[in-house]
Amino acid sequence: VISMTATPIPRSLALTLYGELDISVIISRPNNRQHISTSIVSPNSLNTLFATVDKLIEQGRQVFVVCPLIKSSDTMQGVSSADEIFKDLSTKYFKHRTLSLLHGKMKANEKDKIMSDFIKNKTQILVSTTVIEVGVDVPNASVMLIYSAERFGLAQLHQLRGRIGRGEHQGYCYAILSDSKPPSKRLRAFSQTNDGFKLSELDLELRGPGAIYGTLQHGQLDLRMAKLTDTKLIAAAQLSAKHFIKQNESLIQYKHLARTIHKSQFITTLN
């Protein structure tokens, strides 16, 4: 089985470190792909940002605008929604441009028509939820605005950013904050590198790998000494574990180890 990803989630990376998966890294970009410049934007700087984006549209580029919600929520006040941002941009800042709105609750034929128009450059700005996260290839779309960027995880931010910079033009990604508070360590890292594996290592450190024996995709392990990002120690542990298995020894004589494994074991094999 081959699994391909631009940014491994913490659990996937942890499985690799544990020796359950082998890894091959492709670090080169496809031909004609340009570097993506990523910036963090405060709400106080939106007018300047919109002026910059408008100049890029004037040069022929297209823009993705991504929001975490479809509609505003009383329980998530201050978090941007696609509905409100579409109305704001189309009636104020970009009323001289062509805009479309796309989200997951639309009918399939309606979504197909909106995406087709964007691909054909009939639409200059596409305001969307994360439905454009995968499977979208629009080489002329070189600009992305991510509203309420702090609401997204690192892997998802990197996946979204991968929708731009797919052609010959320089890519620009703008992570827009919901308020004027300093950006988190996660967002700062996102703005500083395009390396998905570096981001996944930080994600692993911040969120934890989840349950190796279960289904949880995040959460810290109960390791007393080791860190999963300590690859040398993990490699040494792998060698020791393989040596132990080759000896065909029974766990029964290692009572503490047997108890630990039994406590974590979700599936029992009956021979």
For the segment 159-183, what is each residue's pLDDT rounded down to a tens digit? Answer: 999 999 998 899 999 999 999 999 9
- For residue 34, give the DSSP letter: P
Distance CA 188, CA 8 (A): 19
Residue that finishes a domain, picked among 167, 193, 219: 193
Distance CA 176, CA 51 (A): 15
Distance CA 72, CA 84 (A): 7
pLDDT at 271: 43
Phi, psi dihedrals of residue 265, rounded to the nearest 5°: -80, 120
The SS3 call for residue 199 is: helix
Strand order through the sheet with 99-102: 36-41, 171-176, 141-146, 62-66, 125-128, 99-102
Same domain, 47 and 153: yes
SS3 content of the chain, % helix, strand, coil (to 5): 40, 10, 45
Same domain, 219 and 246: yes
Same domain, 119 and 107: yes
Same domain, 113 and 21: no
Same domain, 211 and 257: yes
> Residue 145: beta bridge partners?
65, 174
Per residue of the chain (271 residues), what is the pLDDT tens digit?
Answer: 666 665 566 666 666 666 666 667 677 777 777 789 999 999 999 999 999 999 999 999 999 999 999 998 888 888 999 999 999 999 999 999 999 999 999 999 999 999 999 999 999 999 999 999 878 899 999 999 999 999 998 889 999 999 999 988 999 999 999 999 999 999 999 999 998 878 888 887 777 665 555 555 555 555 555 565 666 777 787 788 788 778 776 766 778 877 877 776 655 554 4
pLDDT at 270: 47
Same domain, 117 and 224: no
Residue that finishes a domain, picked among 168, 193, 218: 193
Residue that finishes a domain, picked among 136, 159, 193: 193
Nearest to 172 by CA among 197, 194, 150: 194
Same domain, 53 and 155: yes
What CATH number should be reported for the domain holding residue 185? 3.40.50.300
pLDDT at 19: 61
Same domain, 55 and 124: yes
pLDDT at 20: 61
Domain count, the chain: 2
Distance CA 240, CA 246 (A): 10
Same domain, 178 and 229: no
Same domain, 129 and 100: yes
pLDDT at 266: 57
Full residue range of the structural domain in which residue 17 is found: 1-29+197-271
Beta-carbon contacts of 141 under 8 Å, excluding residues fewer than 6 positions away, are 61, 62, 63, 64, 118, 126, 163, 164, 166
pLDDT at 219: 54
pLDDT at 77: 83
Same domain, 23 and 61: no
The SS3 call for residue 76 is: helix
Query: Longest Cα pair distance anywhere in the chain, in angstroms?
Result: 76
pLDDT at 123: 97
Same domain, 184 and 260: no
